[in-house]
């Protein structure tokens, strides 16, 4: 429920509790009516409320918003800030470390492990392991068999078990916490150095909080995130981040139901036999989806070189005549003349200057009538006539927006800015259609080349 329904003067612990009870009842009924299995606190709980219904999603967000209000009101304003400041970073650091060293696999899913066994598995001192795991248990991540006792062993909990089961969730943590956490905490330094006294962020991707942290030598010499994904690691380990990133992108498709979005982004059947280039297509998860559903499409996936082995491993042999991989830097002139160029979740990682360069790099291969399709995140439109989304839903979007500020000097563009990008790149791009879904935070924009 949106903030508008919360009357500050009349909201008390008891009115909130009543509202929460009502919302919990409505949600439980909706889940039952739609046969959605309920999550519980056991290790074998469903990992998610597997419901595609936007209504149930919004009911859950409304309940979460009330619960957050309940926490704030119970703490009072001072304590709500103090407790957050006290715990936010240790909590994030703890989960990040557990994930980076893969504590999840150190404990059997339906058994227990001693601190010493976990320490051997993750190659860290047992004292460090004990302190980290004990903090994690306060977040319902792992459980102690005898809390606080030296004889205690560790078992999975309902929040840690999904991490043992899902490579995708682990890859998500690696990107959202491990790669972004440092830059987000260094964002104030970057703003001070590059933006203070100016009226905008730097327009390029090399003067970011990311580069401040990762290009100076101590933590690497990577100019930007993509270079880190490609270059981090020695020998066989090189490319490990890119390999994890392909798993993350595939997982995002799963959790946001983007498979349907890709299939419905365009009337793929209407183009008959057509060549599609999926620019920055990762290890081909979207290309494979499209090729399976539309047998007339021939798809070239372009991405950075370290993606090649993952693509080769992923590609079903029956699609090898129609789906191929090309290592290609998307800022170099496009070598493939295609009917459709697909850019999914690409340009939100690049500030305008670079996004424009990228679109211009397509021009040498564009034939009249060629399509460019963006499937992209959208940010909130200022002064929109629409009713505001619930605070908690807006927060998901604005968190992504701050992440792309720290990593890329970019912003989550509203729909209007997505259209402008085409015009700024070249007047011969004509934006034909824009479909957007505010709750799911994405838009599909189609432009035609009028060259």
Ligand X SMILES: C[S@@+](CC[C@H](N)C(=O)[O-])C[C@H]1O[C@@H](n2cnc3c(N)ncnc32)[C@H](O)[C@@H]1O
Site residues for ligand X per CB under 6 A? 226, 249, 280-282, 286, 303-304, 307, 329-331, 344-346, 349
**Integer Cα distance of 383 and 403 in angstroms:** 23
Q: CB–CB of 299/240 below 8 Å? A: no
At closest approach, how far in Å is the CB of 201 from ligand X?
19
Query: What is the token pair recorded at 444?
Result: 């599909």
For residues 155 and 253, which CB has a smaller minimum distance to ligand X in the complex?
253
Q: Which position's Cβ is nearest ligand X?
A: 280
Q: Among 292, 288, 270, 269, which residue's Cα sits nearest to residue 278?
A: 288
3-class SS of residue 60: helix
For residues 159 and 371, which CB has a smaller minimum distance to ligand X in the complex?
371
At closest approach, how far in Å is the CB of 48 from ligand X?
19
Containing H/E element for 67? helix 54-75
Radius of gyration, alpha carbons of the chain: 24
For residues 94 and 310, which CB has a smaller minimum distance to ligand X in the complex?
310
Count the Cβ atoms, other than its own, within 10 Å of residue 339.
Answer: 17
At closest approach, how far in Å is the CB of 186 from ligand X?
21
At closest approach, how far in Å is the CB of 271 from ligand X?
20
- Whole-angstrom CA distances from 204 to 16, 18, 217, 359 are 46, 50, 21, 15
Q: CB–CB of 406/182 below 8 Å? A: no
Q: Among 169, 107, 95, 87, which residue's Cα sits nearest to residue 132?
A: 95
At closest approach, how far in Å is the CB of 370 from ligand X?
19
For residues 281 and 351, which CB has a smaller minimum distance to ligand X in the complex?
281
CA angle 349, 350, 352 (to 5 degrees): 140
**Integer Cα distance of 445 and 441 in angstroms:** 13
At closest approach, how far in Å is the CB of 213 from ligand X?
19
**Integer Cα distance of 133 and 103 in angstroms:** 9
For residues 81 and 327, which CB has a smaller minimum distance to ligand X in the complex?
327
Query: What is the token pair recorded at 419?
Result: 């259209």
142: left (phi over 0), alpha (psi -120 to 50) or beta: left
For residues 132 and 228, which CB has a smaller minimum distance to ligand X in the complex?
228
3-class SS of residue 317: helix
For residues 104 and 442, which CB has a smaller minimum distance to ligand X in the complex?
442
**Integer Cα distance of 80 and 93 in angstroms:** 20
Q: Largest alpha-carbon pair distance within the chain?
A: 74
At closest approach, how far in Å is the CB of 299 from ligand X?
12
For residues 141 and 304, which CB has a smaller minimum distance to ligand X in the complex?
304
At closest approach, how far in Å is the CB of 226 from ligand X?
4
At closest approach, how far in Å is the CB of 14 from ligand X?
46
At closest approach, how far in Å is the CB of 221 from ligand X?
17
Q: Give Cα 446 distance to the centre of its chain.
A: 23
For residues 141 and 315, which CB has a smaller minimum distance to ligand X in the complex?
315
**End-to-end alpha carbon distance in the chain:** 48
For residues 56 and 307, which CB has a smaller minimum distance to ligand X in the complex?
307
């Amino acid at each position: 429920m949106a903030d508008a329904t919360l009357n500050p003067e009349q909201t008390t612990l008891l009115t909130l509790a009543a509202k929460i009870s009502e919302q919990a009842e409505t949600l439980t009924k909706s889940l039952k009516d739609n046969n959605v299995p309920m999550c519980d606190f056991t290790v074998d709980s469903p990992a998610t409320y597997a419901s595609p219904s936007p209504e149930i999603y919004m009911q859950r967000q409304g309940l979460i918003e009330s619960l957050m209000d309940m926490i704030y009101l119970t703490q009072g304003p001072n304590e709500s800030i103090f407790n957050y400041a006290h715990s936010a970073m240790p909590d994030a650091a703890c989960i990040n470390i557990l994930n980076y060293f893969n504590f999840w696999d150190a404990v059997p899913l339906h058994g227990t492990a001693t601190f010493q066994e976990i320490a051997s598995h993750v190659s860290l001192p047992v004292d460090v392991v004990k302190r980290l795991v004990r903090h994690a248990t306060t977040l319902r991540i792992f459980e102690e068999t005898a809390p606080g006792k030296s004889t205690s062993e560790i078992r999975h909990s309902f929040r840690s078990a999904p991490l043992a089961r899902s490579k995708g969730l682990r890859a998500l943590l690696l990107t959202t916490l491990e790669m972004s956490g440092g830059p987000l905490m260094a964002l104030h330094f970057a703003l001070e150095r590059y933006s203070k006294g100016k009226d905008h962020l730097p327009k390029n991707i090399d003067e970011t909080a990311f580069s401040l942290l990762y290009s100076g030598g101590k933590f690497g010499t990577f100019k930007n995130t993509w270079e880190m994904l490609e270059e981090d690691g020695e020998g066989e380990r090189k490319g490990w981040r890119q390999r994890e990133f392909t798993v993350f992108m595939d997982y995002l498709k799963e959790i946001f139901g983007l498979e349907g979005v890709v299939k419905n982004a365009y009337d793929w059947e209407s183009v008959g036999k057509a060549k599609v280039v999926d620019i920055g297509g990762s290890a081909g998860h979207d290309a494979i989806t499209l090729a399976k559903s539309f047998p007339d499409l021939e798809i070239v996936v372009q991405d950075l070189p370290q993606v090649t082995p993952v693509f080769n491993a992923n590609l079903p042999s029956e699609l090898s005549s129609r789906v191929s991989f090309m290592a290609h830097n998307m800022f170099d002139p496009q070598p493939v003349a295609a009917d459709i160029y697909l850019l999914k979740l690409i340009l939100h990682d690049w500030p305008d200057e670079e996004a424009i360069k990228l679109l211009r790099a397509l021009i040498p291969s564009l034939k009249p009538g060629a399509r460019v399709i963006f499937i992209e995140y959208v940010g909130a439109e200022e002064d929109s006539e629409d009713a505001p989304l619930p605070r908690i839903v807006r927060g998901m979007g604005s968190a992504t927006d701050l992440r792309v500020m720290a990593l890329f000097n970019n912003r989550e563009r509203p729909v209007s800015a997505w259209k402008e990008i085409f015009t700024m790149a070249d007047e011969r791009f004509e934006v034909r259609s824009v479909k957007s879904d505010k709750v799911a935070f994405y838009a599909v924009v189609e432009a035609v080349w009028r060259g």
